Amino acid sequence: MRIRTLRAVLPAALLIAAAGCGGTPGADKPDQKTADQPASSIKTSGFEDLGPVTLTVISPEGSGGPRDALRALSKSFEEKYPNVTVKISFRNFTDWTKQAKLVASSDSPPDVFGGNQGYQLDGELVKAGLILPLTKYAEAYGWDKSYTPETLQQFEWTDDGETFGEGTLWGVAQTGQSVGVFANKKKLAAAGVDPASLKTFDDFEAALAKLRESLPADEPVITLGNLDQFHALHLWGGIQGAYTPAQDVRDWIFQRDGATFDNEGNLKALEKLKEWADNGYLGKGDTYNSRNETNAGVAFGKGTGALLIAGNWQAATARDGLGADAIFFNMPPGESGDMVNIGSTSFPMHISAKTKQPDLAAAYLDWITGPSAAQALVDTQQVPAATDATAEPSDPLGQEVKQGWDELVQDGGLTLYPDWSSPTMLQTMGQSFQEMLAGRISPQDVISRVQDDWEQYHKELAGG
């Protein structure tokens, strides 16, 4: 995503998950209408005069809270412009990242759709000319002030789609998303674990052992759903943060010369994840490999497991399931004392280069991401990405989620998502982690596979 130190990502919101994208037929780039259009000529109001018009929107948000917020904001946009119908649909994230480029290049693509930061999808969309540049819209709507420059870097590419983290703006996002620890307060109490006492990663590990002793043998300590092969990676991100500096992780994701996955911290983190699996903290592989991350959140909300280490987008699911027993905190830090974990903004939303209503689509983007969207976001347990958002969570879980995000940002601890580092990295890491947990390969084998993938793409970017 960005190409610089992330310490300045500060007060906004950044988020998840990632994938490899499918191929699309080669074709000439669509006309990118706003590239040379001055901000003063962009229409930002008066859309009620357009007559009946439909905006089609596809979102890859998979959890209840983000979907609920997007539905509510789409409805209020229709209320603002009664002549506009927003036809929104949701797709499974993993499937969508494989389909998005094909759908965007079709004869009837959605006007607005979700992408994914990194070379796997957004870089490909820019290269193929399938999305509109948004720099002029950012000036017209003040997005360049609602987001820090550092936050916007994850949506910036050179116009050829080759260089990530600088150049033209191609998307904006709604929320700040990071991975942390959801806990069932009642089960922690039964095991004699006080969450306030978990100051270090070692404290957290000691709590896992207590929980294993307290829970029934057939119940996992940590509820996992690795069907899509990314939840184990997210779980590992917090362990990695206890051993590896955040900037080292980001340098590797940015494909910086000299960066490597093959280091002592990553090896220790992989060995620790395997140890947790061997200790029975994750439950049975047949179970966690048969459900996805969304369903793991639902299971946790229904009382399975004491912990769910997952993205803060699961907050609404945890709250709806456990009520006041749902709490959230960051993975406690390692020896550095810094909070470090996976996190960024949510999926970037893009405008199709083929839309007939680019200005209306941009107005919709502003409506769902700008300061006016903040209340709908906090009402669904999310952290607004816009720094000028004023709404604050009113419930304890929402406040804990926001605090978790703020701590990571203040410590410069957001590591983004490792699969952004190459178009094939999610598959490489996902399969390798799954095989390691099953005991078929070693942690060192994982490191070798992952770094080999990275080096192959590094050479490709260098023209080798």
Task: State which of 58-67, 119-128, 322-331 shows the largest mean pLDDT.
Answer: 322-331
Q: Which tens digits make up the pLDDT trace of 134-172?
A: 999 999 999 988 887 767 888 999 999 988 878 999 999
Predicted confidence at residue 31, as pLDDT, reads 54
Using the predicted structure, report yes or no on whether residue 99 has a pLDDT greater than 80: yes
Using the predicted structure, report yes or no on whether residue 39 has a pLDDT greater than 70: no
Q: Residue by residue, what is the 3-state secondary structure of the chain? A: CCCCCCHHHCCCCCCCCCCCCCCCCCCCCCCCCCCCCCHHHCCCCCHHHHCCEEEEEEECCCCHHHHHHHHHHHHHHHHHCCCEEEEEEECCHHHHHHHHHHHHCCCCCCCEEECCCCCCCHHHHHHCCCECCCHHHHHHHCHHHHCCHHHHHHHEECCCCCCECCCEECCECCEEEEEEEEEEHHHHHHCCCCHHHCCCHHHHHHHHHHHHHHCCCCCCCECCCCCCCCHHHHHHHHHHHHHCCHHHHHHHHCCCCCCCCCCHHHHHHHHHHHHHHHCCCCCCHHHHCCCCHHHHHHHHHCCCCCEEEEEHHHHHHHHHHHHHHEEEECCCCCCCCCCCECEEECCCEEEECCCCCHHHHHHHHHHHHCHHHHHHHHHCCCEECCCCCCCCCCCHHHHHHHHHHHHHHHCCCECECHHHHCCCHHHHHHHHHHHHHCCCCCHHHHHHHHHHHHHHHHHHHCCC
Using the predicted structure, report yes or no on whether residue 355 has a pLDDT greater than 70: yes
Q: Which tens digits make up the pLDDT trace of 53-76?
A: 999 999 998 778 889 999 999 999
Confidence at 379, pLDDT banded by 50, 70, 90 = confident
Q: Which tens digits make up the pLDDT trace of 382-399?
A: 888 887 777 888 899 999
Q: Which tens digits make up the pLDDT trace of 398-440?
A: 999 989 988 887 888 889 999 889 989 999 999 999 999 999 9
Q: Which tens digits make up the pLDDT trace of 239-295?
A: 999 999 998 998 898 888 899 999 999 999 999 999 999 999 999 999 999 999 999
Predicted confidence at residue 17, as pLDDT, reads 33
Predicted confidence at residue 49, as pLDDT, reads 94
Averaged pLDDT score across all residues of the chain: 89
